[in-house]
Amino acid sequence: MLRLIARATGPKVGRKHQCCLSTGVDYAGQPSQGRRARHGGAGGPGDAGTPFDPGFFSPTGAAGTGERDSGERCWAPSGNNIQPWRVHVVCGRTRQRLVDAVCSAYDRADGSYQAEYHYYPREFFEPYLGRRRKSGWGLYGLLGIQKGETERMRAQHRKNFEFFGAPVGLMFSIDRRMEQGSWLDYGMFLQNVMLAASARGLATCAQGAWIDYHRLIADLLKFGEQEQLVCGMALGYPDPEAPENTLALDRAPLSEYVVVHD
């Protein structure tokens, strides 16, 4: 998870997820003067009525930048080019309504919301269990959260549902009649979005956490009957001061997952 903030001056390029993002962002990665002045930091995330330029996903690019859709964000490959993705861009008042609704559902914790699909296996096993623990405890360690501090863990997890402070949320959906192949395609699309954001000095955090609340989200964003939530994503500028943004996770060496058959 990123913590994401408003960008006050030059680009503070951070890496990724687990971030703190904030307002004053337009989708082309340019700080918008007017918006930055009004919302930079002080306005707080999700200020009602934040004007928003959907240029990052618009076919002609962000207004005023002259940037055209060069395609790297949307030109992910997919089997037979069926492009099984759909993106809901959430900002301003709608973002706030979504955050409020999901945060209160999370706080009620009455078990009335359940994910439509399982992101993880029901029971973890090695080597995935060890990697998961390393990532979780790495984060909690940075935040000074000890084993057993479940309230603090819950509070940290809750930040997902505030998009970690990001001004813009993305909700990705798929037609639920699609099969696993389209979910493969989807990962490529998500990666493209993240790389495109990063190329513009923005940071993202892909968020599977939202899937528990897919019914709330589907209602609020008026999903079609067959639309299924794949995941959410926070989009903004990273806060380089945030401890969670200093988490540097490594990757398993090639020898752990590459098998050469000569």
User: Which residues would be at the binding site for ligand FMN (CB under 6 A)?
Assistant: 1, 16-18, 135, 160, 205-209, 231, 249
Q: Minimum distance from CB of 18 to ligand FMN (Å)?
A: 5
Q: Minimum distance from CB of 174 to ligand FMN (Å)?
A: 13
Q: Minimum distance from CB of 228 to ligand FMN (Å)?
A: 15
Q: Are 174 and 86 in contact (CB under 8 A)?
A: yes
DSSP string, the chain: --EEE---SS-----SSSEEE-SSB-TTSPBPHHHHHHHTTTT-TT-TT----GGGTSTT-STTT-----STTT----GGG----EEEEE-HHHHHHHHHHHHHHHHH--S----SS-SS-SS--TTHHHHHHHHHHHHHHHHTPPTT-HHHHHHHHHGGGGGGG-SEEEEEEEETT--HHHHHHHHHHHHHHHHHHHHTT-EEEEEGGGGGGHHHHHHHTT--TTEEEEEEEEEEEE-TT-GGGG-------HHHH-----
Q: Minimum distance from CB of 250 to ligand FMN (Å)?
A: 8
Q: Which is nearer to ligand FMN, 62 or 247 (CB)?
A: 247
Q: Minimum distance from CB of 143 to ligand FMN (Å)?
A: 12
Q: Minimum distance from CB of 61 to ligand FMN (Å)?
A: 26
Q: Which is nearer to ligand FMN, 75 or 120 (CB)?
A: 120
CA-wise closest residue to 35 among 236, 240, 242: 236
Q: Which is nearer to ligand FMN, 104 or 191 (CB)?
A: 191
Q: Are 169 and 54 in contact (CB under 8 A)?
A: no
Q: Which is nearer to ligand FMN, 30 or 207 (CB)?
A: 207
Q: Which is nearer to ligand FMN, 38 or 86 (CB)?
A: 86
Q: Which is nearer to ligand FMN, 170 or 218 (CB)?
A: 170
Q: Minimum distance from CB of 56 to ligand FMN (Å)?
A: 19
Name the residue whose CB lies closest to ligand FMN.
1
Q: Which is nearer to ligand FMN, 65 or 78 (CB)?
A: 78
